[in-house]
Amino acid sequence: DFCKVPVFDYHRHCPRCLYDLCLDCCRDIRRSQTNVVRGEYAESKGPVVETNKDSASDRARLEPSAASVNDKLFPQPIDANDIGIRSLFPTWRVNNDGSITCGPHEAGGCGSSKLVLRRIFKINWIGKLVKSSQEMVNGCKAHDLENGCSSCNDSRRLDSIGRHNFGLSKCSDSDGIDGNSVYSSVLENLKYEGIVHFRKHWINGEPVIIRNAFEPSLSSSWDPLSIWRGIQEIMDEKLDENAIVKAVDCSNQSEVHIKLNQFIKGYSDGHKGEDGKLMMLKLKDWPPVSVLEEFLLCQRPEFIVNFPLVDFIHSKWGFLNLAAKLPPDALQSEVGLKLLIAYGRQQQPGKSDSVTNLMVKMGDVVHMLMHRAEMRYLCPKSLQPERPERIANGMAVHVNAHAPVQNLNLDMGEQSPEHTVSKSWSPSVGSSAELLSSSHSEQPKTNGVERSQPGALWDVFRRQDVPMLNKYLASNWEELTNNSQAMLSVKHPIYDQAVYLREHHKRVLKDQYGIEPRTFEQHIGEAVFIPAGCPYQVKNLQSTVQLALDFLSPESLRESARMGQEIRCLPNHHNAKLKMLEVGKIALYAASSAVKEIQKITLDPKFNRDIRFEDQNLTRAVSENLARVTKQRKVSCG
């Protein structure tokens, strides 16, 4: 009730007004005292043992008076993630017997009754879980991946923009990897090799790019008009094409309302605001998650089956997605599939409109570029779209692969046959994309032709860059937000998602702070995996449709828990706090699920004979099973 962070088990409770206080807030109140009581240690580090939910005697045993405690035995650790309760409520203190009184009226409590210790899970459930986990870990052979991968150099890494060799070369066992390169693999290799190589990079918090996730020719079914028509087919009630939807104006991050058919038309034609200027919009919360899931299962099942690592990271079935282990009634709003539809354009340096401001997430995320289109409103006449060319094998080759149809009438009739593509593309002089122009000839080819033009430009920082990045943001907040009245209200401004770093900002970061992001382009059919805790920003070079999936991998759990402590100290109305993951609950349910799975494998001889941990075909077997389930669902949809 004070910090608004979800409580997953032990907490303190007021029997009178039902006020709940988490153990971290209890710790902060105790640390605000001159004399620390033993209760701080019991609540922050030591195990809590209680035979009765409201046992006063146990509380007194764990929390003796301040006079009986040796401060040298329990020194106060230095913790930057203190919420500062004493400065907010000086009268809220620890009693002489070590108990804590309910919060004052200003904090939402009654200010009179003593808080008692409560729990949510069954007694000793966590203790038994810890014991079972320790026994199984001690009985298993663990593979050390801490040092990451030293076997790949430029072969499977894409160099950052501005390098001379932007592309792929051969793999060797030499290390000496450039710190700004990005590990990249094609989907077929990933399916064959499994996740071992992927994890060697992922465990170090490195972004990963998976290419060729689907045939570029299939991208035409992912333009906003086709998506809208597909949703129409699965809905019991017809959708109004004039329905008002929410969108975000990327120039100032404000929320606007627009008719759905106007947004879809503006995706390729551009949309002007009341002032006559072209708007850069990003559709918000459309389609709804439940509608999107039905759409994917009934209309695009092949994309779900072939989504990179879907059997590991799916929001419901992924067996290495910790968030998937939560009970159905505890699903997190920030974990699952989303469709991100946004406008985009190539602009002069310093005037670019960002689609996603610099941000950082508690969980992992993957974005797969499904469709892109250049705004025809911005195209010079000489660059107007032309008919797709054909190659010797008869397959259509789309260079600007799949711009939406010219006729944007939202009826259910046939699409216009003039499904056009742009033949060439020339970035503005001095732009980030131009830095790649000299190396396009070296880029990998698909089906005998050069790769299509990029749809998005990514900047991804390392986890270890966050302290310096926060320092830079705090020191230059007014300049970065273009607001002389802007006041920095949080300790960690990276969570505000209020700025987009342009080229001169990144130069200052490199020259004065010693950090720089990994910068790379994203093409059709490429999935970009971003680990939890890695700040990133995205600029659309064209209008795009991205299929995004949030998940939480075991490798990111520690970082996610660390971020949870930082987010807890943000204001209660802060957007990051409203979206924070319940990491404690996720970890417990995931551990319980893992224990059950290992017991099943070790105790069932038949199961143990059929499947081995090192079986490289395990991923393929799960994918085939997922395909079977999806096929059955598609039949029922029909």
Q: Which pLDDT tens digit goes with each residue over 295-347?
A: 998 888 888 888 898 888 888 888 889 999 988 777 666 677 899 999 988 76
Spatial CA neighbour of 465 closest among 521, 522, 506, 520: 506
Task: For CA atoms 313, 317, 319, 325, give the dihedral sign.
Answer: positive
Instruction: Record the tokens describing residue 309, joined without a space.
Output: 């690592």
Q: Is the pLDDT of residue 168 over 70?
A: no
452 closest CA partner among 374, 566, 361, 557: 374
d(CA 328, CA 469): 37
Q: What average pLDDT does the segment 229-238 reach? A: 85
- The DSSP-derived string for 31-69 is HTSSS--HHHHHHHTS----SSTT-HHHHHHHS--GGG-
Q: Which residues, 6+ apart, have CB-to-CB distance to 574 below 8 Å?
A: 490, 495, 567
pLDDT tens figures, 493-506: 999 998 999 999 99
Long-range interactions of 276-279: CB distance < 8 A, separation 24+: 278/345, 278/377, 278/378, 279/249, 279/251, 279/343
Q: Give the pLDDT of residue 75.
A: 39
Taking only Cα atoms into account, the Rg of the chain, rounded to an integer number of angstroms, comes to 27
Here the tokens at position 555 are 């490798």
Residue 319 has a pLDDT of: 83
Tokens for 517?
Answer: 């992001």
| Mean pLDDT value of segment 540-561 | 94
**Which DSSP string do the residues of 108-166 spell out, in sequence order?**
TS-SSSBPEEE-SSPTTHHHHHHHHHHHHHHTSPPP--TT---S-SGGGEEPPTT-S--
- 595 burial via Cβ count (<10 Å: 0-12, 13-18, 19+): middle
Of 203-212, 336-345, 476-485, 521-530, which range is least confident?
476-485
- Could you tell me which residues are beta bridge partners of residue 26? none
Of all helices (H) and strands (E), which one includes residue 469?
helix 466-475
Residue 637: pLDDT above 90? no
The residue among 50, 555, 598, 42 whose CA lies nearest residue 309 is: 555
| pLDDT score of 446 | 42
- CA dist 277 and 266 (Å) reads 13
Q: What is the mean pLDDT of residues 267-272?
A: 89
**Is residue 208 predicted with pLDDT exceeding 60?**
yes
Question: Strand, helix or coil at 330?
Answer: helix
Burial 548-577 (b: 16+ CB within 10 A, else e): ebbbbbbbbbebbbbbbebbbbbeeebebb
| Degrees, nearest 5: CA angle 240-246-251 | 140
C-alpha distances out from residue 366 to 99, 155, 308, 548, Å: 46, 22, 9, 6
Confidence of residue 58 (pLDDT cuts 50, 70, 90): very low
Read off the pLDDT of residues 12-55 as tens digits, 9 standing for 90 and up. Answer: 999 999 999 999 999 999 887 744 444 444 444 444 444 344 44
> Are the C-beta atoms of residues 11 and 23 closer than 8 Å to each other?
yes
Contact 316, 256 (CB under 8 A): no
Question: 565 phi and psi, to 5 degrees?
Answer: -70, -35
Q: Show the tokens assigned to 386.
A: 């032309």
Strands (E), 260-336: 281-284
pLDDT, mean over the chain:
74
CA dist 201 and 361 (Å) reads: 19
- CA–CA gap between residue 299 and residue 547 (Å, rounded): 14
Q: Which residue has the higher pLDDT, 59 or 225?
A: 225
**Region of poorest pLDDT, from 332-341, 397-406, 446-455, 501-510:** 397-406
Beta strands in 410-557 (DSSP E): 445-446, 449-450, 456-460, 518-522, 527-530, 536-540, 543-551
- N-terminal to C-terminal alpha carbon distance within the chain: 48
Are β-strands 244-249 and 208-211 bridged in parallel, bridged antiparallel, or unpaired? Answer: unpaired
SS (H, E, C) 528-569: EEECCCCCEEEEECCEEEEEEEEECCHHHHHHHHHHHHHHHC
User: Residue 412: what residue type?
Assistant: M
Q: Which residue has the tokens 């009581």?
A: 37
528 touches 209 (CB < 8 A) = yes
| pLDDT at residue 457 greater than cutoff 90 | yes
Per-residue pLDDT, 606: 65
- C-alpha distances out from residue 285 to 249, 341, 369, 454, Å: 14, 10, 18, 25
pLDDT category at 455 given cuts 50, 70, 90 is: very high
For residue 174, pLDDT beyond 70: no
CA–CA–CA angle 419, 422, 425 (5° rounding): 165
pLDDT in tens, 354-396: 678 999 999 999 999 999 998 876 554 434 443 333 322 333 3
Least confident range from 75-84, 93-102, 291-300, 305-314: namely 75-84
CA distance 627 to 199: 24
Give the chain's domains with CATH numbers.
1-36+81-120 (no CATH), 128-142+591-634 (no CATH), 216-376+454-480+489-586 (2.60.120.650)
- pLDDT confidence of residue 163: 35
Q: Mind listing the pLDDT tens digit for each residue in 133-143?
A: 888 888 776 66
Which residue matches tokens 């080819």? 445
